[in-house]
A = this chain, B = another copy of it.
Amino acid sequence: MTRPTDPHALLGPAKAEARAGADEGGVPIGAALFTLDGTLLGRGRNRRVQDDDPIMHAETAAFRNAGRRPHYRDTIMVTTLSPCWYCSGLVRQFGIGGLVIGEAATFSGGHDWLAAAGVDVTILDDPDCTALMETFIRERPALWFEDIGAPADEN
A60 to chain B minimum Cβ distance, whole angstroms, is: 5
Please, which residues of chain B bring their CB within 8 A of the CB of A88? Answer: 89
Please, which residue of chain B has its CB at the minimum distance from the CB of A149?
B94
A33 to chain B minimum Cβ distance, whole angstroms, is: 11
- B73, B90, B109, B150: which contacts A86 (Cβ < 8 A)? B90
- B90, B145, B151: which contacts A89 (Cβ < 8 A)? B90
Which residue, A70, A145, A149, has most C-beta atoms of chain B within 10 A? A149
Please, which residues of chain B bring their CB within 8 A of the CB of A149? Answer: 71-72, 93-95
Number of this chain's copies in the assembly equals 2
Interface-side segment among A9-17, A48-56, A98-106, A122-130: A48-56
> A34 near B: Cβ within 8 Å?
no
A residues with CB within 8 A of B:
48, 52-55, 60, 63-64, 67-73, 84-90, 92-95, 109-110, 142, 145-146, 148-152
What 10 A-B pairs are tightest by C-beta distance, nearest first?
A89-B89, A94-B149, A85-B93, A71-B151, A86-B93, A85-B89, A85-B92, A86-B89, A86-B90, A55-B64
